[in-house]
Amino acid sequence: MPEHFDWYDVQYEKLEKGLQPFMTIDGGHSWNLTPKSATRVIMLNFETVIISISHNLSAIIYSFDKGTTWLSHGLLPKNSGLHYFGQLSDSDLSVLIVTRNSQTKELRFDILDFSNIFRFSVVNLEFDCGMKHFLHVPLPRSRRLCHRGQNINIITRDANIFCSNKFGQYTYVESLCPCSSEDFVCDFNFQLKDGLCVLDPLSNITDTPLAREKEFQNDIARFGYHHTLSRYIKLSHDSCDSHEIQRYYKVPANIPSVLNAPPRIYVSQIMPTGGHFPKQQPIQVYLNKNANLKQPITMDYLQQHLYNFLDNYITRFRLQDQTIKVLYYVNDALIDMAYDPISHVLIYLTDRQQLKILSLLTNYEHVVSESISWFTYSPHHRLISMVMSKNIFCYCELLGTIKCVKFSVDILKSFVDFRNSRVFLLTTANILKIQIFAKDPTSLQPLDEVPEVSQFTVHDDNLYYLAKGQLMHRNLKLKDSDLFLIKDVTIKSLKLHLDHLGLVVF
């Protein structure tokens, strides 16, 4: 699903041959069966086209009316296995399909473009949706239409109109309604049962249940008991959003501090909006004994893979078992690497300051740039942010043209966020400078500064950073006070994985 398209979701039942998808278009209030598929379901240009591949690999299955009717197109060749199926970008109507002939072993690349269907036949221009082509639909919630004190309407494309939706997701508040304790979910790894937040059987942890009060007061909400300690949270006067009130929440210690312990890796879930839960529940990831956290690593959390640089080889470990696969030999030592789950490529920086991209489908290696001292990759932006020289930061789309900007002071790390028109620059004095721009990062204006920062990652208005080994959070939109998220443990590295909405800390 496109980023931030909150009311659409697809869940899958694994069959003996293929998958049975279930799709919701109203935030989970109702679920509908879609045709059996061999792949995940992809949405192109927001709601314009929904597409997958049939479970027997015989045809492409697609819908223009949000899954009401489905059509098929026999594109796939016979005697071929599917290697890749994914969209080219969030802004067009094309998908890339890679197949391999089972007899000749040859790879075949097909690009399926739906844009011609949405073009005027006379002038050959794409027919974009206008405001008259959208419907205002109330978003159903657990308590009829009320959710966290608001009755929300979604603005969605009229399924009967063949137009390309380039507006994305829009909502507006129709009216206000009373808050309820049902508006606030249990902590991560807990589930609601008979008024209690009890442990999810799949969490693999043991803890004391959290009792919940069924009555809800105007200003004080009792969230429950944990280790016999009662919790009270003061609600803000104008909002029922629990994320805005977490500054009053004291997060207890949840990871033991061990002196001289070997490096460990933890995953801590965050909200779909990018905010943190009232109590973060970091879960330790138990790795293969041959994995080395002191060497560059990156994760594909959906496939449960960890990529590690070991003895000049890029090696892949499966998190759920002891399977190891050596993938690629690299002449130079690696400084850091990242993984793109859509393109199935690794992006890595060598000790010779070369930034490279490696396709795991074809083993083709592409040199992005020389003289790069640091980089980070944002999969949901599909953007690489880099530092070149002492005071020059650069950025480019995956396999795109690099653009560079000179800054006034020396910098260590950078991140360009075009969606929110912000640039984050970590200086050599460990001051995180947050800048804003109007059209592009060539003209920056200061917005804020955060001292004593060693690492950081950003998801929309949520800034997560490390200060003296402590994981901190700041809401850039609300400009609230900084919060400790995980105490009593020293964190050395921090990465954000949006494929499972989690923070990975080392």
CB 195 within 8 A of CB 215: no
Pure H helices in 9-121: none
What is the pLDDT, as a whole number, of residue 426?
97
Average pLDDT score, the chain: 76
Residue 142 CB partners (closer than 8 Å, separation 6+): 182
Threshold 0.75, pTM exceeds: no
CB 392 within 8 A of CB 405: yes
Of 112-116, 137-141, 142-146, minimum mean pLDDT range: 142-146
Banded pLDDT at 225 (limits 50, 70, 90): very low
Banded pLDDT at 495 (limits 50, 70, 90): confident
455-459 sheet: strands from edge to edge: 455-459, 462-467, 470-475, 483-486
What is the pLDDT, as a whole number, of residue 246?
34
- Strand residues in 45-184 grouped as ranges (E): 49-53, 60-63, 71-73, 80-87, 94-101, 107-113, 134-138, 146-147, 150-157, 170-176
Over residues 284-298, the pLDDT tens digits come to 777 788 888 889 999
Over residues 48-72, the pLDDT tens digits come to 789 999 988 888 999 988 888 999 9
Banded pLDDT at 182 (limits 50, 70, 90): low
Mean pLDDT of 211-217: 37
Report the distance separating Cα 247 and Cα 251, nearest Å: 10
Q: Return the CATH number of the domain spanning residue range 260-503.
A: 2.120.10.30
359 φ, ψ (degrees, to nearest 5)? -80, 125
Helix (H) or strand (E) holding 226: strand 220-226
Q: Which residue has the higher pLDDT, 213 or 498?
A: 498
CB 155 within 8 A of CB 170: yes
Cα 341 → chain centroid: 11
Residue 2: how many CA atoms within 13 Å on its side-chain side?
23
Instruction: Tell me the DSSP string of 237-254.
Output: TT---GGGGGGG--PPP-
CB 452 within 8 A of CB 486: no
Maximum mean pLDDT: which of 1-5, 44-48, 103-107: 103-107
> Burial level of 122, CB count in 10 A (0-12/13-18/19+)?
exposed
Specify the pairing of strand 19-24 against strand 9-14: antiparallel
What is the pLDDT, as a whole number, of residue 380?
77
Q: Above pLDDT 70, what percent of the chain?
A: 70
The sign one gets for the Cα dihedral 316, 321, 322, 325 is negative
Banded pLDDT at 245 (limits 50, 70, 90): very low
336 φ, ψ (degrees, to nearest 5)? -160, 160
Q: Which residue has the higher pLDDT, 326 or 426?
A: 426
What CA–CA distances, in Å, run from 345 to 75, 217, 292, 348?
A: 25, 51, 21, 10
